[in-house]
A and B are shown apart, each in its own frame.
Chain A
Amino acid sequence: MRRIARCLSACLLACAATATLDPTIASAKPRKKPVVEAPAALPAGTLEKLQSGDEASIKSALDDVRTAGKSAAGAAPTIADVLGRGLTADLTVAAIDTLGDLESEAASPALASYAVHRSPPVRQAAVKALARTKGPAAVAALRHALSDDDPMVRGIAATGLGALKAKEAVRDLFVALDHKVGEAAASIGQLCSPAECDELAGKLGKLPFDVVTGGLDQVLFRPTSEVDDDQKVKIVGRVRELGTQEANKFLRDVQKRWPATWSPRVKQAIDQGVLATSGVSQ
């Protein structure tokens, strides 16, 4: 049985017999939540200010939290709660950025809800923050954001999935890469299995060189426990086969950065690749 009646003022007369304004509800002011003790790193009263409903106080409190940094992570649930109830446009972005700084997974669900905000800058901020707060909610939101209509949101989401080590998102990232989300390449490079790394290398010649090598670079510098030497030598060979000036430039760059203590076999392949592609003209 419906116990709640709702009328617009236009139908107030018609509804008058049954729908009466309940004074106890209509005049009810939200009661203050029990105050949670502020994290030690924060000035006293910061959490109260966050919950005050006063724009200036909230702004000031958010500034205090950001200043305190990750040590104020205990404030994340309160900020997430305040954000979840709705803030002005400026405070919304400030709260999202602050939650990102706190890197608390507890904030991910609240941030995820803002990853579908109508304002692209708000979505960009939310997606960026999610890459730092981590957790399943963050991964799900970033995968969803790969399909966003804003290219910046897509790019940030692709990068974020790499940062979150979201291996389950590699297929999505390949689709994104094929849809010109260049940032997906680097993330694929961070996450790919041997077969997927081969697939990425197979994009050489099909997608812009810089985009693909942005991902291959990540593969080459992953620890051997994740990508073995055979795989790396193979990738160096794929680049070398291009025989282009840009391939040479890429390999030289990798050669310069190759740690002295890392695999001599891969180093040798890189050196040979540099030699083989030297002197080529574009």
Chain B
Amino acid sequence: MKGVALLGAAAALALSACGGGYTSITLFTTDWTDDGGKSIDNIRKKLANAHPPPGTDVAVAVAGNSDKLIGQPLGGGAKWTFAHPLSARPVIAGTVVVGSGGGELFALDAATGRRLWSRPTGGLKVRGAGDDGTVTVISLSGSTEVGSTLLAVARDGAVVRQIETDRSLGAPAVLGGFAFVPWNNVYVSAIDLLNGDEAARVVLREKTSRAWTEQRELYFGEIGIFRWDDHIKDAPKNQASHVALPVRELPGSPKLMEPGTDNPGAAAEAPDRIRIYARPTPGEEGALGIEGGRFYATYFKIAMGFEATKGTLTWVHTHGSDLIGGAAGAGGVLLCDEQGHLTALDAKTGGVTADVDLGEPVKGCVVQVDAWTPGGAPAAALPLADQLSTALLNREAQLATAKRLLLRELASLKDEVATKTLVALASDERTSPLLLPDARQALADRRNGERFMREALEHHYDYLKDELRSPPVGPIAQALAVIGDTSAADLLASHLLDTSDSDDDVKHAAEALVKLASADETPVLLQFFSMYRASAPSEDIETAVVSVAQALVKVGGAEGQARVLAAMHDPMTLPNVRERLQSLVIVAPVEPPAAAADGGAPAPAAAKPKK
């Protein structure tokens, strides 16, 4: 039977030397029969009037060479610093900050940075902590690679309880003298700190590795959030008060919470930059929801706000540096960046509501928001299409994954700014190859913003003018053809003769001209048809030749018809082209001009692409 191990490691001895009772070896056994919520209901009734004290609103950053903590109380207190080697991410629990490093575990007053206590640990790292104002319960990595140490320490530094187990314990919370400890992904055990007994256990029907308190309530969760209320006894029947975020695609596939069994290092890593922030609705009455109806996600420099029931994107904030930590609060989210700025963003618009400078770049950051709300109105925020445009036109290559998602969001908007942005993305040589096909497809699917498309078509490759990338002619041609914008016909025709356009782009331009061309385009159509009918260098250009023939038959008058007819019978015309020309049905004009009578009109004057 697995359970609590005897203290053996040097670190454990160091801890145990300071006292504290030992616990029952029946702790954390899986040889346990589900009691249907009975034991946890007993504890619930016992703690019916117990509520966690308010937590300190504070941001704590790891700075220097991971040897310095900077604390910034959000409620207006003075910034504090605390020098100490750090081997794990500090944890804010209620009104204390718990850190570890240099072979020592320590607790600070979160509001002032004053050291409350410290204890030797022999290198164990903090995973999570809870605090009820008198006792701090901390889960630490075990003295070996597996297992955990659970420690309850009073304000004076005395160890109230110490438990070592080969189980991997999650992040604990404390309430009314009981430590609530998630473990084995599905259990939360209530451990009586007076005697160390497991007073109750509840099985939760969703992966759970964290217990925490906020806004004077107790919660459990990881994938979703369970509330400690009268329904907790129904958790085995999957009827506890619970809320989860809607399933939706997010860049980097972040989770609501990282597992409480992880040992995050002091410095932020990729998962800290790819995060979700949300917090439950306050109070223990009513259905559990997500506060403000909003949740937030970050992806390096991008922060996004989402509506919490359907997951609809509502705003995008493009930041100046990577966002590495934060917390959701009332009315928005507070984010910490690696340049040492705390930025509060409005829940509804993403507008900045507060910005605080910690004074130096930081390596890691944790934030606790309990009652704090930013004062003042948010800065004016642009419409969503413009916000998306800003994010998408950011040159950061690292953001390509997020940009793909944002591009799809942009493509779903009817705002003409979306077309403008897609044109810019598809035209920019710096656009990531990951993003380019999506941008081109989205552009082809647009049904507005023709003026931006026409503006783009006015550009051609021009070596001397340093215009070294052709516009996205193909997608624009597809869109304009569906829209039926005949005013773009001359521009599209000019791209038939642009040697820098891709064969695919030329093919689509030719297809669009079948619908959009007028007699004005005849010279260019004739030139293109003649040049390539017998020497098209690719299948795309062969297809373009056939499309141009269709356009010529339609708008090229007798001369156009005659040229196409002659080509049908000319053995030099490429076989593929000739065969497809046969499918064209041509009706004679009423008054065939004399030039057509000989089956070969004069060669057209050379047309050139517009510069």
Give the shortest distance, in Å, between A176 (CB) and chain B (any CB). Answer: 6
Whether the pair B464, A87 counts as a contact (CB closer than 8 A) is no
A-B contact count (CB 8 A): 165
Whether the pair B599, A6 counts as a contact (CB closer than 8 A) is no
Q: Within the assembled complex, what's the spacing in Å between the Cα atoms of A114 and B590?
A: 33
Q: Within the assembled complex, what's the spacing in Å between the Cα atoms of A85 and B565?
A: 12
Contact among A24, A123, A176 with B464 in the assembled complex (CB-CB below 8 Å): A176
Whether the pair B599, A86 counts as a contact (CB closer than 8 A) is no
Whether the pair A119, B537 counts as a contact (CB closer than 8 A) is yes
Whether the pair B533, A149 counts as a contact (CB closer than 8 A) is no
Chain B's closest residue to A110 (CB) is B603
Contacts known (A8-B550, A8-B583, A147-B611); A86 close to B531, Cβ less than 8 A: yes
Contact among B464, B562, B566 with A146 in the assembled complex (CB-CB below 8 Å): B464
Chain A's closest residue to B572 (CB) is A88
Give the shortest distance, in Å, between A221 (CB) and chain B (any CB). Answer: 28
Whether the pair A86, B611 counts as a contact (CB closer than 8 A) is no
Q: Flag the segment in A13-21, A188-196, A252-260 that touches B.
A: A13-21
Q: Within the assembled complex, what's the spacing in Å between the Cα atoms of A56 and B203?
A: 89
Kindly state the interface size class of chain A when it binds its partner: 35 or more
Whether the pair B586, A117 counts as a contact (CB closer than 8 A) is no
Number of B residues with CB within 8 Å of any CB on chain A: 58
Q: Flag the segment in A27-35, A222-230, A265-273 that touches B.
A: A27-35
Contact among A12, A53, A144 with B570 in the assembled complex (CB-CB below 8 Å): A53
Whether the pair A86, B572 counts as a contact (CB closer than 8 A) is yes
Whether the pair B586, A26 counts as a contact (CB closer than 8 A) is yes
Q: Flag the segment in A38-46, A76-84, A210-218, A238-246 that touches B.
A: A76-84
Q: Which of A125-161 contact B (CB under 8 A)?
A: 137, 140-141, 144, 146-150, 154
Any B CB within 8 A of the CB of A7 = yes
Whether the pair B554, A33 counts as a contact (CB closer than 8 A) is no
Whether the pair B497, A116 counts as a contact (CB closer than 8 A) is yes
Interface majority SS on B: helix, strand, loop or mixed?
loop
Contact among A9, A29, A32, A148 with B569 in the assembled complex (CB-CB below 8 Å): A29
Any B CB within 8 A of the CB of A179 = yes
B178 contacts across to A, CB distance below 8 A: none
Contact among B561, B583, B607 with A25 in the assembled complex (CB-CB below 8 Å): B561
B571 contacts across to A, CB distance below 8 A: 53-55
A172 contacts across to B, CB distance below 8 A: 464
Q: Within the assembled complex, what's the spacing in Å between the Cα atoms of A26 and B462?
A: 42
Whether the pair A28, B499 counts as a contact (CB closer than 8 A) is no
Any A CB within 8 A of the CB of B530 = yes
Q: Mark B575-611, 1 if CB is under 8 A from A, else 0.
A: 0000000011111111000000111101111111101
Any A CB within 8 A of the CB of B183 = no
Contact among A21, A112, A116 with B587 in the assembled complex (CB-CB below 8 Å): A21
Any A CB within 8 A of the CB of B527 = yes
A26 contacts across to B, CB distance below 8 A: 565, 586
B466 contacts across to A, CB distance below 8 A: 179
A86 contacts across to B, CB distance below 8 A: 529-535, 567, 572-573
Whether the pair A31, B499 counts as a contact (CB closer than 8 A) is no
Contacts known (A85-B530, A86-B529, A144-B608); A19 close to B535, Cβ less than 8 A: no
Contacts known (A81-B603, A137-B606); A149 close to B461, Cβ less than 8 A: yes
Q: Within the assembled complex, what's the spacing in Å between the Cα atoms of A47 and B292?
A: 85
Chain A's closest residue to B607 (CB) is A113
Any A CB within 8 A of the CB of B256 = no
Give the shortest distance, in Å, between B508 (CB) and chain A (any CB). Answer: 15
Any B CB within 8 A of the CB of A206 = no
Whether the pair A149, B500 counts as a contact (CB closer than 8 A) is yes
Whether the pair B499, A24 counts as a contact (CB closer than 8 A) is no
B567 contacts across to A, CB distance below 8 A: 86
Chain A's closest residue to B549 (CB) is A6
Whether the pair B499, A118 counts as a contact (CB closer than 8 A) is yes
Whether the pair B604, A84 counts as a contact (CB closer than 8 A) is yes
Contacts known (A24-B588, A88-B572); A118 close to B537, Cβ less than 8 A: yes
Whether the pair A116, B609 counts as a contact (CB closer than 8 A) is yes
Whether the pair A4, B553 counts as a contact (CB closer than 8 A) is yes
Contact among A25, A55, A109, A110 with B572 in the assembled complex (CB-CB below 8 Å): A55
Give the shortest distance, in Å, between B495 (CB) and chain A (any CB). Answer: 11
B611 contacts across to A, CB distance below 8 A: 144, 147
Whether the pair B463, A148 counts as a contact (CB closer than 8 A) is yes
Give the shortest distance, in Å, between A174 (CB) and chain B (any CB). Answer: 10
A31 contacts across to B, CB distance below 8 A: 597-599
Q: Within the assembled complex, what's the spacing in Å between the Cα atoms of A92 and B534?
A: 9
Whether the pair B603, A12 counts as a contact (CB closer than 8 A) is no
B86 contacts across to A, CB distance below 8 A: none
Give the shortest distance, in Å, between A59 (CB) and chain B (any CB). Answer: 11
Q: Within the assembled complex, what's the spacing in Å between the Cα atoms of A84 and B498?
A: 18
A91 contacts across to B, CB distance below 8 A: 534, 572
Contacts known (A123-B499, A146-B464); A80 close to B603, Cβ less than 8 A: yes
Q: Within the assembled complex, what's the spacing in Å between the Cα atoms of A196 and B610?
A: 28
Q: Within the assembled complex, what's the spacing in Å between the Cα atoms of A148 and B468?
A: 10
A83 contacts across to B, CB distance below 8 A: 603
The 10 closest A-B pairs by CB, nearest first: A84-B603, A30-B599, A113-B606, A9-B583, A86-B530, A112-B606, A89-B535, A22-B588, A6-B553, A25-B588
A-B pairs with beta carbons under 8 Å apart, 6 shown? A6-B550, A6-B587, A9-B583, A19-B585, A28-B565, A116-B497
Instruction: Write the residues of chain A forming the contact surface with B, with a CB cutoff of 8 angstroms.
Output: 3-9, 12, 15, 19-22, 24-26, 28-33, 53-55, 80-81, 83-89, 91-92, 109-110, 112-119, 123, 137, 140-141, 144, 146-150, 154, 172, 175-176, 179
